[in-house]
Amino acid sequence: MAEAKKRERTYNEDEIKARLERELPFWWYENGWIRRKYKTHSWKGTLMVINAVGHLAEAAWHHPDITASYAWVEVRLMNHAAKGVTDKDFELARKIEDVVQWRPGEGSALEGTPNEDQRFAYIKYDKPS
């Protein structure tokens, strides 16, 4: 007989909010989901964010809900099987954040997208706190 799958631990609202504040300050908790809105400069940037999130989610086998418009993408994570927010959600959120907000460092051989020329603008990167 197959072993029953162990139910994953879900976090309560206070635990979720504390962890987001500590680890993912641009994410928030609302209606059972942890959420993040990424602002972009255009549809091109929006599609790039969606594709990056899609790749990470598929590789992790943990799939977010995504809503998008011309210049923004909202990512929502909640573990449907566990009926709440679990470590899977926090881990995928962290990976999404690392990839979408990544920019080449100062002194890098990679120059990054030019901020001065709006033709090449991509993501509206958050300012470090």
Q: What is the CATH number of the domain that holds 85?
A: 3.30.1360.20
In a domain, 22, yes or no: yes
Q: Cα separation of 47 and 120, whole Å?
A: 14
Q: How confident is the model at residue 125 (pLDDT cuts 50, 70, 90)?
A: confident
Q: Name the band, by pLDDT with cuts 50, 70 and 90, for residue 129.
A: low
What integer pLDDT is reported at residue 128 of this predicted model?
61
Q: How far apart are CA 120 and CA 110, in angstroms?
A: 15
**Average pLDDT for 45-71:** 97
Is the predicted pLDDT of residue 126 greater than 90, yes or no?
no
Is the residue at 77 inside a domain? yes
Look at strands 28-30 and 33-39 and give their pairing.
antiparallel
22-49 tens-digit pLDDT: 999 999 999 999 999 999 999 999 999 9
Going by pLDDT thresholds of 50, 70 and 90, the confidence category of residue 63 is: very high
pLDDT digits over 64-116, tens only? 999 999 999 999 999 999 999 999 999 999 999 999 999 887 789 998 887 77
List Cβ<8 Å contacts ≥24 apart for 99-107: 99/52, 99/56, 100/38, 100/49, 100/52, 100/53, 101/125, 101/126
Q: How many domains does the chain have?
A: 1
More confident call, 34 vs 118: 34
Work out the widest C-alpha separation in the chain, in whole angstroms: 63
Residue 75 lies in a domain: yes
List 74's β-bridge partners, or say none. 37, 67
Asked if residue 98 belongs to a domain, the reply is yes
Domain presence at residue 123:
no
Residue 61 belongs to a domain? yes
- What are 39's strand-pairing partners? 72
Domain hosting residue 82, numbered range: 13-102
Q: Is residue 29 part of a domain?
A: yes
Residue 88 domain-assigned (yes or no): yes
What pLDDT does residue 106 have? 77
